[in-house]
Structure 1
Amino acid sequence: DDPVEAGPAESWTDDNWFHDQGARRVRPNEGHWTLTPGLVEGRLIGGNLCTLNLLQGTPWMPDLSNAVVFIEDDLESSVKTFDRDLTSLTQQPNFDSVRALLIGRFQSQTDMDRETLAAIVASKRELAGVPIIANVDFGHTNPLLTLPVGGDVTIAAHETGPTITLSD
């Protein structure tokens, strides 16, 4: 199959769509945010950040070696909790070989914004030089980008239009 570019949706929502389709609040999408530039290829590994933290130290924690790690969190996670959980993830075996980090869009009820997220990322020396794209269409918002765990991906984290390209 041909590679597929996973670009940002034009708009998004995080309402309870299953309750009332007519009362949905659709928001314009700012697009993907490049927090740290870079160009890499790798294998996709990730999921919910809190769940990954629960797997730490067990045989079920995925191997992060040479991975493009994707993480997302829900509205129950505060800025401080996300910061702490990200720190915990960066301390895992083989995190030093992580190729890139993708961060899913935060729900509107959280206090997370681009500036706050950039400050959290900048505070982690383990993330220095790791290409990072945030505000990606996965997590607890709609539409949802499905990322193939174990699939190959190319990350081009440029200031002017970052791209995520999925391949076999």
Structure 2
Amino acid sequence: MNIKPKCLTKQARIAVVSPSNGLPYLFPEIYELGLNNLRALFEFNVVEMPTARMSSEQLYRNPQMRAEELNECFANPNIDGIITSIGGYESIRILPYLDTELILQHPKFIMGFSDATTFLCYLNTLGLVTFYGPSVMAGIAQLRNLPKKSLEQMKTILFSDKYPFPLQATSQWTNGYRDWSDLNTLGECLPFQENKHYPHWRFLQGTTTVQGKLWGGCIEVLEFMKGTDYWPSPDFWHDKILLFETSEEKPSPEQVGYMLRNYGMQGILHKVQAILFGRAKDYSSEENIALEKIILSIVEVEFGLNQLVIAFDVDFGHTDPKLILPLGTMVELDSAEGTILLQESPFQ
């Protein structure tokens, strides 16, 4: 069952929340730049919630408050959507306090990435379409310095009814941003690198066209959820396409392999339709090659899944530009043509 939010429009009232970390408190200038881009580039009306500028210490001590604020955003008829300010490391602690019955009765657009993986995946497991995409400070604040196609694709996904819609790779990408404390380079990115596979997406294996519903996020954050009441049941996985990406903490290729192997041991890799791996942040060429080898060794050699479709270096997660990927919506992967197609609107 898919529960889709109402369509967004210009002048929509978008709540900004800090459900994980208080970086707007530490870096107000880059946060303000992100808010300004929400207003100027998308014509949203920004509603700053009380947590948005709280310190990390205040947020850390009050997981119930953070959850109740999300509950309030869903319940408030004057709020049309929710975007996180930034990620963090312990939003798993807010999950027990989410009013899931209320949230599912009042479905709304909610977007973030990294530590937001916890509540985006949990709510999607319950049926709500959620959005794995840029946050205010990381991805939105930098939009004027990213390839033009990035903003165009975001607007298409958020505002248009042009589906099926092919997700397009960009010709360049970057590992991150210039120092947020230097106001002279505010909103600028680290040097861009050429996408060697542009304009196609790269596939490590698979020769077929497959379809499935997106689910996943930051592979390290997903580790926080395993074994808890918020992890999906064994029958959840059959029509899914997994999303995995790595954070700025930069787990080694071997560590990513340890995490991936666990999905095999749970029987999940035998059930899913495909895997999308985001571009690994801060990896060297040698580390990227090592990651490819480990992924293929685990999937193909250890679990015998030599036809499981695997896309690699996809533009989502901790590098930029960031695609908006609607969790719970149907996607088609054509490994022969190197294409990724959103098959349905994520909105009602």
Query: TM-score range, shorter-chain basis?
Result: 0.7 to 0.9
Give the counterpart letter for 1:95 in structure 2. L
**Alignment partner of 1:29 out of 188, 195, 202:** 195
Distance between the aligned counterparts of 2:164 and 2:307, measured in 1?
26
Provide Cα deviations, 1:96-152, integer angstroms capped at 9, x if missing partner: 111000000012345531x32331122123343210010000111010011100010
**Alignment partner of 2:294 out of 107, 120, 132:** 120
Distance between the aligned counterparts of 1:43 and 1:94, measured in 2?
14
**Alignment partner of 2:273 out of 87, 99, 102:** 99
Give the counterpart letter for 1:14 in structure 2. N
Distance between the aligned counterparts of 1:4 and 1:17, measured in 2?
32
Give the counterpart letter for 1:167 in structure 2. Q
* Structure 2: gaps spanning 5 or more residues: 1-160
Residue 80 (structure 1) aligns with: 254
Contact 2:172 2:192 in 1 (8 A): yes
Distance between the aligned counterparts of 2:164 and 2:287, measured in 1?
32
Matched, 1:60 2:238: no
Distance between the aligned counterparts of 2:297 and 2:283, measured in 1?
24
Aligned residue pairs total 165
Provide Cα deviations, 1:62-100, integer angstroms capped at 9, x if missing partner: 332221111101242111111111111222254311100
SS at match of 2:326: coil
**Alignment partner of 1:50 out of 220, 228, 232:** 220
Distance between the aligned counterparts of 2:211 and 2:164, measured in 1?
13
Give every structure 1 segment of 4 or more consecutive aligned residues whose post-TM-superposition deviation is greater than 4 Å: none
TM-score where L is the length of structure 1: 0.87
Determine which structure has the larger strand proportion and give its number.
1
Residue 7 of structure 1 and its aligned partner are, at CA, apart by: 1.9
Residue 165 (structure 2) aligns with: 4
Distance between the aligned counterparts of 1:23 and 1:98, measured in 2?
35
Give the counterpart letter for 1:97 in structure 2. K
- Flag the structure with larger Rg: 2
In angstroms, what is the RMSD of aligned CA positions?
Answer: 2.0
Contact 1:56 1:92 in 2 (8 A): no
**Alignment partner of 2:316 out of 133, 138, 153:** 138
Residue 340 (structure 2) aligns with: 164
Contact 1:53 1:88 in 2 (8 A): no
Against the structure 1 CA distance between its residues 166 and 18, is the aligned structure 2 distance closer, same or farther, given a 3 Å change threshold?
farther
Distance between the aligned counterparts of 2:189 and 2:292, measured in 1?
33
TM-score where L is the length of structure 2: 0.44
Determine which structure has the larger helix proportion and give its number.
2
Contact 1:53 1:89 in 2 (8 A): no
**Alignment partner of 1:150 out of 328, 334, 339:** 328
Contact 2:203 2:311 in 1 (8 A): yes
Provide Cα deviations, 1:25-78, integer angstroms capped at 9, x if missing partner: 111112332101231011111111112222112231233222111110124211
Give the counterpart letter for 1:51 in structure 2. V
- Paired-residue identity, %: 27
Higher RCO by CA contacts (8 Å cutoff, separation 6 or greater): 1
Name whichever of 121-130 and 134-143 sits farther off: 121-130
Against the structure 1 CA distance between its residues 22 and 71, is the aligned structure 2 distance closer, same or farther, given a 3 Å change threshold?
closer
